[in-house]
Chain A
Amino acid sequence: DTGVSQNPRHKITKRGQNVTFRCDPISEHNRLYWYRQTLGQGPEFLTYFQNEAQLEKSRLLSDRFSAERPKGSFSTLEIQRTEQGDSAMYLCASTGQQSYNEQFFGPGTRLTVL
């Protein structure tokens, strides 16, 4: 499979719990992005990695959110002390030098905070 994969696809959690999502990009892609999409809205940029370096974080990304990309391969997005407002679809995308800015999106992880 050469696409972007995300796990889990769905996550239901109680308010206050921590959750972690994983994204596996296309193997030769050096850039990885996280977006958040709420119902009826377009995806919003959260953060961006080039290889293992996190180069930009949106103001949307509060201090409860942290993302990592160890070794420049897969990435994880952790949300601590979840709130109901965190309920959304979390999308991962990757791109590489041969892709000419085109980002390839994973299927997303749908988070529901009860």
Chain B
Amino acid sequence: AQSVTQLDSHVSVSEGTPVLLRCNYSSSYSPSLFWYVQHPNKGLQLLLKYTSAATLVKGINGFEAEFKKSETSFHLTKPSAHMSDAAEYFCVVSASGTYKYIFGTGTRLKVLA
């Protein structure tokens, strides 16, 4: 069975400082992993995805994530936070066969001016 744990429910950073959103996964096979962002009253938007190619994945808006199999982690980072990054972020693992998504509980990112 697959599962995802987002280690922080809330993260606050100052504008211009680095962002780190943590995600650990559990999977009995080589997983596909995703990060999605959800702005208030907006739909889910894909930030980036890992599908067994390069372990360092670059996404939109300057975000990137590194797949670390030994640590079963897929943390999301950004060098410099922008006010527009304030949103809810979801780490997702895709189940083999059905490809249904297993979502984490989300991390709410707050960016302080």
Q: Which residues of A contact B (CB under 8 A)?
A: 31, 33, 35, 40-45, 48, 55-56, 91, 93, 95, 100-103, 105-108
Contact = CB atoms under 8 A, between A and B. Distances in A.
- Shortest 3 CB-CB contacts between residues of A and residues of B: A42-B103, A105-B44, A107-B43
27 contacts: A31-B99, A35-B103, A41-B105, A41-B106, A42-B90, A42-B103, A42-B104, A43-B44, A43-B101, A43-B103, A44-B103, A45-B100, A48-B98, A48-B100, A56-B98, A56-B100, A91-B43, A100-B49, A100-B51, A101-B32, A102-B49, A103-B99, A103-B101, A105-B43, A105-B44, A107-B42, A108-B43
Interface of B: 32, 34, 36, 42-44, 46, 49, 51, 90, 94, 98-106
Contacts, number: 49
A106 B45 CA distance: 10
Given A100-B51, A102-B49, A91 B44 contact: yes
A95 B99 contact: yes
Contacts of B106: 40-42
A70 to B, nearest CB: 21
Nearest to A45: B100
